[in-house]
Amino acid sequence: MDPRAGTLAQPSDLVDLDALLSAYHDREPDLDDPGQRVVFGTSGHRGSSLDGAFNEAHIVAITAAIVEYRRGQGTDGPLFIGRDTHALSEPSFTTALEVLAAAGVEVHVDARDSWTPTPAVSLAILTHNGAATGAGVRTQGPGLADGIVVTPSHNPPRDGGFKYNPPHGGPAGSDATGWIADRANEILRTGWRNVPRVSIQQALAADTTRRHDYLTSYVDDLANVVDLDAIRSAGVRIGADPLGGASVEYWGAIGERYGLDLTVVNPHVDPRWAFMTLDWDGKIRMDCSSPYAMASLLERMQPGPDGRAPFDIATGNDADADRHGIVTPDAGLMNPNHYLAVAIAYLYGGARPGWPAGTAIGKTLVSSSLIDRVAAALDRRLLEVPVGFKWFVPGLIDGSVGFGGEESAGASFLRTDGTVWTTDKDGILPALLASEILATTGKSPSQHHAELVDRFGESFYARVDAAATREQKATLAALSPEQVTATELAGEPITAKLTRAPGNDASIGGLKVTTENAWFAARPSGTEDVYKIYAESFISPEHLAQVQEAAKDVVSQALQP
C-alpha cells in the first residue's frame, strides 16, 4: 500500500503528454522484446508508447490485420469505432481511421467528434445486426457490422488500448484475437510502413466514413432496459462521476432526457487525470471499484449540516464506462461482489417479469460465492465461466443468460422484454440500476446486501499476488486437477479442484479449489511475473488469511517439477 493512496495526485505524478505523444509517432517497437509485440489480453492490446508497447506501428499493424480478418470472415458491413479520453486514444483513433479508409472499409465515427463509451459501440453493432427488431441478432451472413474501441479501460494515463468487437458486439474471442495478434506482428516484422494509408483529412472526407450519433442512440434506448420513470417519480438524487472518462457527456444527457435529479459531479476531462486521487499503489488509475481512486467522490458523499448526504446514490465509471462503482450514504463504496449479488437478487426476484423463466445467472469463477447462494435460493441456473466477459456473449445474445457479471465491476443484462442490450460490459447500466433499486424498493443496494448477509452469511473476499517465473506461470495455466495433491484447505476438506469452468467446460487458465465455506482461484498474470490469488471465506477475515496462505502452499506444491 502506497502511503499516499487516496490522496490527490501531485504534479510529479502526472504523465508528460508531449513525451507520450511524441513517443507514439517516433518510437518503433523492438520485436526482440516480447513486451513490445502485439499481445491481446482479455480486453485487447494495451501498453504505453513510452515503453515501445503502444505506438503508431502497432496500430497500423493491428488495424491492417483487422481489415484482413473481417474480410476473411465475410464481415462486409460497417465498422463502428469509438475512443475514450486517454491521451493515446486520439492519435491511435486517427491512425486506425487512415488505414481503414485506405482499405475501403465503411467506418462509422462519432457524430460529435467526441468520446464514445464501450457499451455505446456494442449497442451500435448489435442494433445494426438486428437487435430489438424481434428477429434477433445476426452473427452470420452479408452486411454484418463489427467494431473497434480505442481504450485501455481503467489503466493509468500513460497507457493506450485497442480492442476488436466482432459482429456479436462483445469482446473478441481468442480465435480472433490470436489471429489478429499473429498477423499484426508479422506485419510489424515485414514492414508496417507498406500498409496503405490516406491522410486524416482524406479519411474524414471519404465516402466510406459516416457519422453515427452514438450518444442519442444509447440514451434514448435506455428506457427499454432500466425503469427510469420510477427513478424520476421517486426523486432519487443521483451523483454521477465519470472520472474524466467517455461517459462525461452521456450522464448529463441521461439526466436531461429523462428529467432525473442527476448531477455530474466532475464534468472535467484531463488526459493527465490531475484531479484523481492515487490508487492503492500510488498510481493514477480510473478504477471505480477502488476506494482510493474514488476517494474524492466518497468525501463528497459526507453528510451536510442537515445530516443528509448530497446524493441518495453516487456512481463512478472508468475511462471507457465499462465498469461501475456504487456509493451509498449508509455504506460508502460497495464491494463489486456485494453489488453484483444485490443486482441479481433484485432482477431475478420479480423486477423483470418479461425475462424467460429459464434465464440463467452468469458469473465468472472468481466472483463471490454469495452469488451461488442467491442463485440457489432463486432456483435459477448458474453459469460459472472463466475470467473474461466474452464468455457471456452467446447467452446474452439469445436471452439464455439474463445477467453477466465480473468481480472487477463489469456487468450487463437484458432489456426488460428479455432481448439483448449489450454484449460488452456496460458501466452506466448497473449504475442506473442502483437508483432503480432504491426507487422501487425504498432501500439502498447496501441495505439489500445487509439483508443478503443476514440470510446467507457474510463473506470476506480479497485478491493478492504471489511471485512466479514465466515457466511457473505456464505450468499453472496448464495444470490438471490430478496435480493438486492437497485434501484440505484452511481446516476444511476440499470439495472440488477445478481447471475447467463448470458453466461451459472452458479452460480457466489456472486452478480453483473449493470447500464448504471457502475457495481460492489462482491465475497467472499476463503482464507481470506474478500469479493472482482470488479467495473468499464465509467464516471470518482470519480464515480468509488462512485460505490465502494455504492457497500459496497448494499452488507451490503443484508447480514443483
Can you tell me the distance from the alpha carbon of 169 to that of 121, in angstroms, rounded to the nearest whole number? 8
SS3 content of the chain, % helix, strand, coil (to 5): 40, 20, 40
CB 297 within 8 A of CB 316: yes
Residue ranges of domains in the chain, CATH in brackets: 14-217 (3.40.120.10), 460-558 (3.30.310.50)
Give the integer Cα–Cα distance in Å for 259 and 229.
Answer: 9
CA distances from 430 to 108, 123, 153, 297 (A): 27, 15, 17, 18
Give dist(CA 358, CA 410) in Å, integer: 23
Nearest to 115 by CA among 227, 258, 224, 267: 267
Cell 500459496 belongs to residue = 552
In 227-315, which residue ranges form alpha helices assigned H by DSSP? Answer: 228-234, 248-258, 295-300
**Residues in CB range of 220: below 8 A, 6 or more apart:** 257
Question: Per mean pLDDT, which range of 190-199, 207-216, 442-451, 465-474 is the poorest?
Answer: 465-474
528 pLDDT exceeds 80?
Answer: no
pLDDT at residue number 556? 86
Q: What's the rounded mean pLDDT across residues 49-55? A: 98
End-to-end CA distance of the chain: 33
Q: Give the helix/strand (H/E) hosting 461.
A: strand 460-467
Across the chain, mean pLDDT equals 95
Q: How far apart are CA 315 and CA 62, in angstroms?
A: 34
153 is annotated as an active-site residue? yes
Q: What is the pLDDT of residue 135?
A: 67
Q: Which pLDDT belongs to residue 525?
A: 78
- What contacts 113, CB < 8 A, 6 or more positions away? none
Phi, psi of 407 (to 5 degrees): -65, -15
Instruction: Report the run of H or E that residue 536 belongs to, with start and end.
Output: strand 530-537
Cβ neighbours around 555 below 10 Å, total? 24
For CA atoms 336, 338, 343, 348, give the dihedral sign.
positive
DSSP character at residue 317: E
Mean pLDDT over 259-265 rounds to 98
Q: Rounded CA gap, 115 and 12, in Å?
A: 27
* Catalytic option among 89, 153, 247, 367: 153
What percentage of the chain exceeds 70 in pLDDT?
99
User: For residue 346, which of 254, 458, 338, 333 has the smallest C-alpha distance?
Assistant: 338
Look-up: residue for cell 493491428?
A: 62
Q: What is the pLDDT of residue 559?
A: 81
Instruction: Give this prediction's pTM.
Output: 0.95
Question: Residue 256 pLDDT more than 70?
Answer: yes
pLDDT in tens, 136-188: 788 888 999 999 999 999 999 999 999 999 999 999 999 999 999 999 999 99
Under 8 Å between Cβ of 321 and 214: no
C-alpha 493 chain-centroid distance: 34
Mean pLDDT value of segment 251-273: 97
Query: What per-residue confidence (pLDDT) applies to 133?
Result: 67
